[in-house]
A and B are shown apart, each in its own frame.
Chain A
Amino acid sequence: MTIRTYWQLDPAAEPHRLEPSFQRPNAIVTPLRRAAVHNRFDYYAQVAEAAAQTAFNGLFVAYRAEADESRIIAASLAREVRGLEFVAEFPASVGSAVYAAKQAATFQRGTHDRFAWAIAPDADARSRARVGDVVAQDDLGERLDEFLTVARGVHTQRPFTFHGRHFAVENGGFDAPLNRAPFPTVFLQGESEDALDLSARHADVHLFRPGPIEHIASLVEGLNALAKQADRSVAFGLLQPILARETDEEAAFDADRERVVPGTLVGSFDTVAARLAELAAIGVSHFVLGAEPALEEAYRVGQHVLPRLRAQLAPSTTAAVRAA
């Protein structure tokens, strides 16, 4: 026999709880603050929900010094937008690597493991000085290397000790339950030799900028070889601005009118999906697509491009499964 249990709510009971006419505040106690009804985060939430409802896997929250901080945005949205992965982009100059790792653990624990890190590309010296980042240009790679080593180290090892030039930890490392959450997926960027070398050792996903397909293919090949030497594997992604319309003509017309950023993928839903499928064929598996306005374009791309892309990729997937 299955039992079913119910709890009773009596709407007339406990009227002193949040029933305005029953409130008797004590004049000694400071009254509560009321937040504004709407703010910018309601729009962020709607974009995230648009991505979720149109079957994107995640939301990439870009790092912008001139707007809200990406990890605050991601964490503010994660509980109301269920099921979406949040990739927050931030620079390695944020502070303690231990602290960043601990924040990531709480994010994972509070969201059923939907958090990922994207490390922002290095800013120029002047911009770095403005945000209090005094590390010399030549040491930025080393700092990022140490940042990721320490963050992953305290997450996965106990005790963890490290003495570097930028970070030091003694007898560190997380205990249960914090260490049960998976370390966030790490997205890195950059095409320099140093960037690729760092990714071979630290990245889960390496993000490329748009470029000729042969160029991306050679970078994929190069990084694959480096990762193999490090006994790891790295997935590949692309940060791809996109302008997709029903026809190629409309897309070209709008691209001309809107003066899209260089590298934008412009075309009909079919054309764009075909191009993304070509990139998938050379090993790109993480597509970070973007367009403005983010809300409307998420619906357009999610509803018309993504299904076409999935359909194009499906036969090869099926074949691969059969072969296996």
Chain B
Amino acid sequence: MTIDFHWRLPTHGCHSSIRRGNYDRGDWSPPSPENLAPGFDAAGEDDSYRYIDHLAQIAKAAESAGFQGGLIPSFPNTDDPWVISSLLARETKTFRFMIAFQPGFGNPVHTAHASASLQRATGGRLLFNIITGGGGPAQLWWGDSFAHDDRYGRTDEWLDVFKGVWSARSGSGFTYKGRFFEVEDGGLPPLLATEEFPEMWFSGSSDAALKVASNHADYYLSWLEPSEQLFDKFARVKDKTAALGRQQKCAIRVDLVARKTEEEAWRDMRHGFENVSEETRARWRGQATDSVGASRQAALRPTEATRWDDLIVGQNLWGGFNLLRGGPALGIVGSYEQCAAQLDVLIQGGADGFILAGTPHLEEAYRVGEEVLPLLGRSSQALLQAAE
């Protein structure tokens, strides 16, 4: 069995360095001479490059560096993953587009139609990260007022319908009457019906989420958590799914700061932390959510982190990544060998796939692909043991 490695396309701009918080790639920052996509041409005018041009560069870097594809996240102020995938479909060659999608936002039959079309456009390179929403004001922003457990019920039904119409064969349409969705005699048109059903990567840490994952997920996706807690969760998901007669794969989404030496890696975290304003740190401490996954990570967070190394929460683990960029808090920091060793430990603990990321996403795709992935498997029980 092989392990799937994906990368991430940052959909809210990118930084040219993990040390600095300014989004100097993309138009989430005002134009300046040091900004890219858009930037200034030699005459000081808008160079007409747009953020999609930078995303194209990252996707091509990821495929060159050996990544299967990448997660394309979706939040209120990001670009949209469906459109990004379509825009980049024909200029990439192997990159698989993992669309982060909240099922409630699209009619499941129409979404199946669009998905099969995207499979045809890309030669079967579509997959999904099914998310059910962090709740709170953001859900109402999207026009979604469902409560937490209702949303999982809707996700469950949505996936039933999506799969039902995908699998329906001509002459025997798919009919469904649920709480949230109804279809009569539905199905994909014959031209589209032979496309491969897209792989489902499923996020969510609550009991409601784990239940839906068991029903529908190919991969159960988690943020990085302390290994004992994480491996326990993986074991529970795998057991639940095995009881239904299916095998559940598990995957981890995690940022890496991989450098030639451990010292260089930590130096970047120190600079990154020290460049964050006190205002940002205050906001960071006050984030509200009904996401269980976010709470599981937040529990690790020292309430008063005044120094960068207050956030070292384990061997090669740092808990302040979401101070430096949007997303999960916990990430891996170390030498190439240490990062590979950490990934090896996660593989031994039940991880079948990864969504990795690093900042800047373009250059780090090459670095991690070239320096860390080749070390997997042969690294380094020895290193870990020596460190203990």
Binding site for B on A (CB under 8 A): 5, 16-18, 24-36, 39-41, 45, 65-69, 71-80, 91, 93-99, 102-103, 105-107, 109-112, 126, 129-134, 150, 167-172, 174-178, 180
Contacts and interface: CB of A to CB of B under 8 A. Distances in A.
Nearest to A72: B117
Q: Which 4 A-B pairs have the closest CB atoms?
A: A35-B123, A75-B86, A110-B52, A95-B106
Contacts of A110: 50-52, 79, 83-84, 87
A83 to B, nearest CB: 12
Contact of A134 (B104, B143, B182): B182
A34 B93 contact: yes
Q: Which of A29, A168, A169 has the most CB of B within 10 A?
A: A29
B52 A130 contact: no
B189 A41 contact: no
Interface size class of B (residues with CB under 8 A): 35 or more
A170 B114 CA distance: 28
Given A129-B184, A172-B143, A72 B110 contact: no
B297 to A, nearest CB: 26
Contacts of B184: 126, 129-130
B140 A39 contact: no
Given A65-B113, A66-B189, A39 B182 contact: no
Contacts of B191: 66-68
A99 B190 CA distance: 28
Contacts of B28: 176-177
Contact of B189 (A36, A67, A106): A67
Contact of A41 (B93, B108, B120): B120
Contact of B109 (A131, A150, A169): A131
Contact of B137 (A24, A94, A109, A171): A171
B83 A68 contact: no
B79 A109 contact: yes
A64 B42 CA distance: 45
Nearest to B88: A79
Contacts, number: 222
A33 B82 contact: no
Contacts of B80: 99, 102-103, 105-106
Nearest to B190: A66
B239 interface: no
Contact of B68 (A33, A106, A112): A33
B244 interface: no
Contacts of B140: 169-172
A28 B143 contact: no
A150 B142 CA distance: 11
Interface stretch (B2-10, B148-156, B215-223): B2-10
B3 A150 contact: no
B264 interface: no
Nearest to A97: B143
B79 A106 contact: yes
B108 to A, nearest CB: 6
